Chain A
Amino acid sequence: MKKNNLPENKNLDLIRALIIKHKKNDHIFAGIGFFVIASLAVALLVLFLDLLINGYPKINLEFFSNFPSRKPEMAGILSAWMGSALVLFVTFFVAVPIGVAAGIYLEEYAKKGWFADLIEINVSNLAGVPSIIYGLLALGLFVYEFGMGQSILTAGLTLSLLMLPIVIVSTREAIRGIPVHIREAAFAVGATKWQVTWHHVIQYAMGGVLTGIIIGMARAIGETAPVITIGALTFIAFLPPSPVTEVAPFINFDWLDAGFTVLPIQMFNWISRPEHAFHINAAATGAVIIMLTLLMNGVAIKLRYNIRKKIKW
């Protein structure tokens, strides 16, 4: 026995040197990670601030309540944000039920096999297809084949195609995150598959599903190419018929057939004008789009947090 009771083959200095050497990797990795994240965040921030500073003089209530105009100081984004809102409304009500149902079917009901694999690969691939391809598909299918015209309905359906894979994939991920033992607990008391799906799977997956939905919506709101492809208007000084009416039955669907424009197209339109004043409008519109996107992502994070707080596996 030595004085410090260490066995002969242990050399504390060597062990400590080894630990320091190994820990160096931690620091290196953390350093690189921080650098990458920071540069991305700074790039985004600079972009956003640039838009905000340029567009700041225009961002006021009138900007939201005026139609576009030939005079840049009079021009606003009323028809654009209204168009975006209505298109997203359609997108939401088409993509969410279909996407969530498809996710549940694929995860819970579909027999595993080559067919399921094929669908799986296809869905993942669809998420990566350039959005202009969806625009072309919609132009051929919705606009000409189905005769829906260059309407809000067409745009909504097109963007829902774009959003569908995101919703499906996030639904499946969320369902896979539910532990087997919770599922088995429900089956063990005699629940049917549908009861397990309805009472448990959907409820516990809701956090992840919502996140997917809002991220999909945030992507849809900024999409320009497919909406241009199907022939959205670039200058529009009227609103679609109101979805809510004063006489019974108080709702109408005429707005689905109306022409429209959306925020990114309005922005694109102003950028391509020579006058500098229009560029300010474009910057303001860009700032609005980014703020909307950030807002939606913020809501998604908050919702997910609220739902997950209640669930501990």
Chain B
Amino acid sequence: MVKKQEIIKAESRNFNFFYADGTHALKDINVPLYEKRITALIGPSGCGKSTFLRSFNRMHDLYPGNKYQGKIILNPDDTNILDKKVDAIEVRMRISMVFQKPNPFPKSIYENVAYGLRVRGENNKRMLDDKVEEALKGASLWNEVKDRLPDLAFNLSGGQQQRLCIARALATDPEIMLFDEPTSALDPIATVNIEELMSELKKKLTILIVTHNMQQAARISDYTAYMYLGKMIEFDETDIIFTNPSKKETEDYITGKFG
């Protein structure tokens, strides 16, 4: 079912997650993320896709009382990123994230992209200039903003803001990028741009994306995981999930009988 030459970049093993109020949000999740592939998480609202995605850069640490159980292994160094001994900041420096709603800082375009490098103590102007340009090019935004880098990021359109956020996440050379419904607040043209961008990005890094849009998952992802009520129902190559799923629940969801 999975091609031999695939390398596992990260993998969740018997992963459980509990919110501070005791909700058992994720139950025994086992999913591999293959290197330089796009893995899509689909499922009805509230099934835990975003919760799972946010575990990959320890976003849940920001709110006290949340609890992880099990492992998420990051390769090649075989680090369990959920381990208390591993600092959440270290994890976030390796795995970056793009959010549902474009969330640029109320700063200039340049400073938005440079911020990830600034927090790493990078202050060399030349180095920052190069990195900002590279990241903006990587997010196919450079041509649109190269003449107005000092402008406020809020002056960009919604789609441009989201690509700016991608550039911000890209500037720090992450190994994995997480996308939490990145196009749900965007118009169709901006959505196509972002999708093309992701296909371009996967040449360099591993992508995990949560999406409500099944066509989007079918279009861009290599692997798809269907989640329901905090459980992983089925994980397989996207083609198989969408044409010949092995579970009845997956088929019902895919064909729109449910969800």
A189/B106 in contact, CB under 8 A: no
- Residues of chain B in range 158-187 having any CB-CB distance to chain A below 8 Å: 165, 168-169, 172
Residue B59, interface by CB 8 Å: yes
Partner of B96, one of A111, A182, A186, A188: A188
Measured CA separation A68–B171 after assembly (Å)? 66
Which residues of the partner chain B approach A187 to less than 8 Å between Cβ atoms? 59, 62, 92
A181 touching B169, Cβ below 8 Å: no
* A189 and B165 in contact, given A184-B103, A312-B106 (Cβ under 8 angstroms): no
- In the bound complex, how far is the Cα of B102 from the Cα of A312, in angstroms? 12
Residue of A nearest to B116 (CB): A189
Determine if A190 is an interface residue (Cβ-Cβ < 8 Å).
yes
| Chain A residues with CB below 8 A from B86, complex form | none
Shortest beta-carbon distance, B179 to chain A, in Å?
Answer: 12
Residue A191 CB within 8 A of the other chain? yes
B57, B64, B104, B119: the one within 8 Å of A192 (CB): B119
Q: Mark A172-202, 1 if CB is under 8 A from B, else 0.
A: 0000000101111111111110010001100
CB pair A184 B154 closer than 8 Å: no
Tell me whether B105 and A189 are in contact (CB under 8 A).
no
Contact of A190 among B62, B99, B116 (CB under 8 A): B116
What is the chain B residue whose CB lies nearest that of A182?
A: B103
Name the residue on A nearest B165 (C-beta). A185
* Chain A residues positioned under 8 Å from B120 (CB to CB): 190
Residue of A nearest to B178 (CB): A188
**A278 close to chain B: CB less than 8 A:** no
Q: By the criterion CB–CB under 8 Å, are B103 and A189 in contact?
A: no
B-side interface residues, number (CB < 8 Å): 27
Is B101 touching A189 in the complex (CB atoms < 8 A)?
no
In this assembly, does A22 line the interface, its C-beta being within 8 Å of a C-beta of chain B? no
The answer, yes or no, to whether B89 is at the interface (CB within 8 Å) is: yes
For residue B97, CB closer than 8 A to chain A, the reply is yes
Interface members, chain B 93-127 (any A CB < 8 Å): 93, 96-97, 99, 101, 103-106, 115-116, 118-120
CB of B89 within 8 A of CB of A192, answer yes
Query: From residue A177, how far is it (CB to closest CB) to chain B in Å?
Result: 12
Q: In the complex the two chains form, is A188's CB within 8 Å of B93's CB? A: no
B91's nearest neighbour on chain A, judged by CB, is: A190
Decide if A185 touches B119 in the complex (CB within 8 Å): no
A248 to B179 alpha-carbon distance, docked (Å): 61
Q: CA separation between A186 and B118, bound complex, in Å?
A: 11
| Chain B residues positioned under 8 Å from A204 (CB to CB) | 106
Q: Which residues of A contact B154 (CB under 8 A)?
A: 311-312
| A112 adjacent to chain B (CB < 8 Å) | yes
A259 to B89, CA, bound (A): 54
**A residues less than 8 Å from B90 (CB atoms):** 190
Separation of A156 and B16 alpha carbons in the complex (Å): 56
B152 interface hit (Cβ, 8 Å): yes
Q: Are A181 and B103 in contact (CB under 8 A)?
A: yes
Distance in Å: Cβ of A298 to nearest Cβ of chain B: 25
Bound complex: CA A31 to CA B199 (Å):
59
CB distance from B31 to the nearest CB of A (A): 21
Q: Assess A189 versus B152: contact at CB under 8 Å? Given A181-B99, A204-B106, A311-B106.
A: no
